[in-house]
Structure 1
Amino acid sequence: MTDAHPSRRISDEQRRARVGRRHLLAPSTRAATVEEVTDAVVALHATDPATVYLSACARLREPRPEAVDRAFYEDLSLVRLLCMRRTMFAVTAGLAPAVYAGAGRAIAVRERATLVKHLRERATGWDEGRLATVEKEVLAALAIRGEATTSELSQDVPALRETMLMSPGKPYEAKQSVGSRLLRLLAADGRVRRCRPRATWNSSLFPWAPAAALPELPVREAKAEIAGRWLRSFGPATEADLKWWTGWTVTDTRRALADIRAVAVELAEGPGFVAEGDEEPVAECEPWAALLPSLDPTAMGWRMRDWYLDPEQVPALFDGTGNIGPTVWWNGRIVGAWTQRGDGEVVWRLFADVGREGRTALETEAARLSGWLGATRITTRFPTKLERELTR
């Protein structure tokens, strides 16, 4: 890392300008392909099936769910990985080896240890040896079938139907199938991948297929690649932002910043960093509005959010575990929330006055969103209180 220079100060206004341009949110910056969109924001949140489609289409010149489907299920140019912060993301195939080595592999190891512990404590006759045997049986069955749901695989591998009692003694205790956890583990290991959902594109009902092994990369090299990509997309940002986004330790975060020779700068909130060679101002975009989905990568890109989000609005926009709901943006700031009602109408509530120009731009974005959604109805997996109010 290089030392900060007194004149190297980046304003909040400049940060917001970078978001509009680099996150492809201003209309003139929108991309032609899903892969361009994904690389622009490093990774698309994929915990909620709808988020990937909504985030991608908000940034595409011609928004089409079919383009996302093609990238996932035909070209295999997008890869789902359990990685940063133990969260499901979609990344491009070119970046996937670095993300797996720098963030996903360690999580997969912890997921395996947790599953073994739960199987020993909450199921009968399970240990590492039996788990390994059942995994081999599942992969063999998939090789024959080509693709199959967990339920279908349980016909070939009956052990998948066994259950574990989770949270015993708690009001929310429940039985969980071994199959659901084991397939999740195989996916975390990069040995299986999700296939096209059996229902609509925003469905959680999907089959599995064997996955090609990802190339092995050294961990430190991989972390540097992730940090560099992230800082070029989200910088300037703080050390705390990168640590939070990746889920790394302070030591790993600082080492990665040093390895990429991140340049220290001053932000309104204190010390920050930009990628080497990225100190100069960027040109302002045209005025822009955006309706971004819950868990969108821009809304969830930083730990320190005061420069684009009024802290007083946090309780309205986030659920109880830190997941942000659908947000309304105007020129680099979150100014409201939106949702889709049961009849398909896109509605929003503003926290700030955006003027006539802003309202017109939002109406245009709502019409654009409704146009490509068509008859599809979005159900947010982590609804906020404000979302529920807007659906009434």
Structure 2
Amino acid sequence: MGESGRRHIDAAERRARLALRHRLAGAARAGSPEEVAGSLVALHGTDPATVYLAVAARLAEPAKALPETERALYEDRTLVRMHGMRHTVFVFPTELTAVVHASTGLTVAARERAKLVKDMADAGAPDAAWLTEVEVSTLAALARRGQATASELAVDEPRLREQFAYAAGKSYEGVHTVSSRLLRVLGVEGKVVRGRPLGSWTSTQFRWAVAPPHPELDPAAAQAELLERWLGACGPATEADLKWWTGWRVTEVRRALAAIGAREVSLDEGTGYVTAGDTAPVRPPEEPWAALLPGLDPTAMGWQQRDWYLAPDMRPLLFDRSGNVGPTVWWNGRVVGGWGRRPDGEIVWRIVERDGAGAEAAAAVAAEAERLRGWAGTTRITPRFRTPLEKELSA
């Protein structure tokens, strides 16, 4: 117990929880992409390759990652790619879409629509009524087609090709197309979702599809449910972690913590929180483990305060200037290095943090690299956000 009477959860136990709950230890690996997404709550979807790489790293049979993730996303629709926390694209279990929309999407959606209407008005473009007409027509065309690109939708609704000036006179001025801005707003509003890509699993060009129907939930109740799910996967976490991950105001975070009866615990960083029934000690996995996680992996990006699994002096090597993490090498719950893939397909990795990562760690990392090569073949994997160590290793 800590001085306040609260149970202290040290870094070692937090790493044990991470290993088991994030399906990274060998004995904890999952059987399907749905299990992986459910365990993590959300998979980062900004970089399409991240979804497949994150799933494969956590499957008992990584060769299933490509066919099974495609099945879940585009055939069974048990996973959905949509905007979520912090206005970021994620892949969620379909049953969470209503929760995500009500808890985080509504506020962002209202802001994005108002911004689009204002930008068009400032440019002398047609008004909100005209935009509504285009929206209705676009959604009808998308429903008829099933899935379509913006260019395909513009065949049915030519007004999508209309352009307007943006931020005239400023250093970042440019020209926007109605299709790009409107489809983005419709995505945040939960009316459309990303569909099957035009190319391979690494392609960044997506079709759009009408979003699956979902009930409208009370925002406060939805925030409580989302926070409880995330704490179950990632707790303990500090208030700063929760505010960062959700993108909510601190008052919303505190309200949701109270609603779920979260328990305070003591962390090396200060006060943390777990769900009401999650205060019992968690033992580490019986076997040591290694993992090669992709850029933007939800584990590496899971917390704002990361010193308990990532040494501060490694951040300049592994993050870009915007705070996006690149490919990471893990050993027993700590980030110890990074990896990349050369043009000829060779997977190259480097252990930077040597404390406790000796020959056993190197052998385990090499096995994970071979595991990755075994299912990914010769596919070129270039992270969307390049980081210093990844660039060096991939050269």
1:59 aligns with 2:58: yes
Provide the C-alpha distance between the structure 1 equivalents of 2:313 and 2:213, rounded to a whole number of angstroms: 46
Deviations 1:350-389 (A, max 9, x none): 2122111100110010011111111321121111122212
Q: Indicate conservation of the 8 Å contact 2:25/2:289, yes or no.
A: yes
Gaps of 5+ in 1: none
Which residue of 1 is the match for residue 344 of structure 2? 343
1:371 aligns with 2:374: yes
Q: Indicate conservation of the 8 Å contact 1:101/1:216, yes or no.
A: yes
Deviations 1:255-314 (A, max 9, x none): 111111111110111111111111111121121111111111100111111111111111
- 1:228 positional shift: 0.5
Identity score, percent: 54
Which residue of 2 is the match for residue 390 of structure 1? 393
> SS where residue 229 of structure 2 aligns?
helix
**TM-score for both structures, normalised by structure 2:** 0.95
Deviations 1:96-144 (A, max 9, x none): 211111111211111111111122223x432211110000111121222
Q: Indicate conservation of the 8 Å contact 1:120/1:127, yes or no.
A: yes
- 1:56 positional shift: 1.0
Which residue of 1 is the match for residue 89 of structure 2? 88
Q: Indicate conservation of the 8 Å contact 2:24/2:57, yes or no.
A: yes
Provide the C-alpha distance between the structure 2 equivalents of 1:109 and 1:230, rounded to a whole number of angstroms: 25
**TM-score for both structures, normalised by structure 1:** 0.96
Deviations 1:81-106 (A, max 9, x none): 21211111111011121111111121
Which residue of 2 is the match for residue 12 of structure 1? 11
Which residue of 2 is the match for residue 227 of structure 1? 227
Deviations 1:198-253 (A, max 9, x none): 21011122222222322111111100101101111111111111111001111000
Which residue of 1 is the match for residue 180 of structure 2? 180
Q: Indicate conservation of the 8 Å contact 1:5/1:265, yes or no.
A: no
Q: Indicate conservation of the 8 Å contact 1:49/1:203, yes or no.
A: yes
Q: Indicate conservation of the 8 Å contact 1:31/1:59, yes or no.
A: yes
Q: Indicate conservation of the 8 Å contact 1:43/1:91, yes or no.
A: yes
> SS where residue 70 of structure 1 aligns?
helix
**Given residue 233 of structure 1, which amino acid in structure 2 is its aligned partner?**
A
Q: Indicate conservation of the 8 Å contact 1:105/1:189, yes or no.
A: yes
Which residue of 2 is the match for residue 113 of structure 1? 114
1:359 aligns with 2:362: yes
Q: 1:324 to 1:164 in 2, by over 3 A?
A: farther
- Map residues 242-257 of structure 1 onto 2, 5 A cutoff: 242-257=242-257
Q: Indicate conservation of the 8 Å contact 1:190/1:213, yes or no.
A: no
- 1:173 positional shift: 4.1
Provide the C-alpha distance between the structure 1 equivalents of 2:3 and 2:129, rounded to a whole number of angstroms: 54
Q: Indicate conservation of the 8 Å contact 2:125/2:164, yes or no.
A: no
Counting matched residue pairs gives: 389
Provide the C-alpha distance between the structure 1 equivalents of 2:164 and 2:337, rounded to a whole number of angstroms: 42
Provide the C-alpha distance between the structure 1 equivalents of 2:370 and 2:164, rounded to a whole number of angstroms: 46
> SS where residue 125 of structure 1 aligns?
coil
Q: Indicate conservation of the 8 Å contact 1:4/1:263, yes or no.
A: no
Which residue of 2 is the match for residue 239 of structure 1? 239
